[in-house]
């Protein structure tokens, strides 16, 4: 698909999975940015249900935030140019890159199975990849995939999917969820600092409108 040469460069959203056992991160760029993004924030208050009125305004931490979005993946453009991967596999690799974010690493599954067969009393469940949701430079968020559905809408002669719609549900991980030493702790804290800066910009603009004058 061609675009007007003077049009601004469009940033693409992405999901990045970082696995400590794999030196290469899994980067899933959105082929087409979703038209809509649904965010739900639930305040974490101390005084919820408490009879102590002095606690009513206290916050336990960052709100619980969930994100819902639909991502479209289509191999039409790649098939038109006879791209080798698209011709041979369709969009199966892109779908797989998303799916493995909620799979335990197969090597760890095998290791745990061997430990259990040797009589190990307790086997620690493997960690999921550290996942980031990137939606522009102001929003880089550590997340956990909670909902995942794929609607495959077209297939090639080998039944490889060539067009699909993926519905994703994400739960933002905050400093309430992560230890201080985890990289996601600092990433979320930086996100909050950016949000507070944006709020200051918005508040000054709104106050100017209410006052009817240009405020310094």
The answer on pLDDT for 37 being more than 90 is yes
**pLDDT class for 122, splitting at 50, 70, 90?**
confident
pTM recorded for the entire structure: 0.82
The residues near 22 (Cβ < 8 Å, ≥ 6 apart) are none
Q: What percent of the chain has pLDDT over 90?
A: 56
pLDDT band at 5 (very low <50, low <70, confident <90, very high): low
Q: Residue for token digits 């760029």?
A: 29
Rounded CA-CA distance 154/92 in Å is: 12
pLDDT band at 187 (very low <50, low <70, confident <90, very high): very high
Using the predicted structure, report yes or no on whether residue 3 has a pLDDT greater than 80: no
Is residue 166 within 8 A of residue 153, CB to CB? The reply is: no
Beta sheet of 26-29, edge-to-edge order: 26-29, 14-18, 130-134, 140-155, 161-172, 64-74, 38-42
Residue 172, pLDDT > 90, answer yes
Q: How far apart are CA 95 and CA 83, in angstroms?
A: 17
CA angle 209, 213, 216 (to 5 degrees): 100
């Amino acid at each position: 698909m061609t675009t007007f040469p003077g049009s601004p460069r469009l940033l693409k959203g992405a999901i990045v999975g970082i696995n400590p056992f794999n030196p290469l991160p899994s980067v899933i760029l959105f082929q087409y940015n979703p038209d809509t993004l649904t965010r739900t924030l639930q305040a974490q208050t101390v005084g919820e249900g408490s009879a102590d009125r002095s606690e009513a305004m206290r916050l336990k931490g960052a709100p619980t935030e969930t994100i819902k979005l639909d991502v479209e993946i289509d191999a039409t453009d790649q098939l038109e140019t006879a791209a080798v991967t698209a011709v041979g596999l369709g969009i199966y690799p892109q779908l797989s890159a998303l799916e493995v974010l909620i799979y335990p690493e197969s090597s760890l599954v095998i290791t745990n199975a061997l430990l259990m067969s040797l009589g190990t009393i307790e086997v620690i469940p493997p960690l999921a990849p550290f996942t980031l949701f990137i939606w522009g430079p102001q929003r880089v968020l550590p997340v956990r995939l909670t909902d995942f559905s794929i609607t495959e809408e077209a297939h090639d002669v080998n039944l490889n999917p060539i067009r699909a719609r993926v519905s994703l549900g994400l739960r933002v991980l905050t400093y309430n969820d992560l230890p201080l030493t985890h990289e996601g702790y600092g990433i979320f804290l930086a996100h909050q600092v950016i949000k507070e800066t944006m709020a200051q910009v918005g508040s000054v603009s709104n106050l100017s409108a209410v006052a009817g004058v240009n405020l310094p």
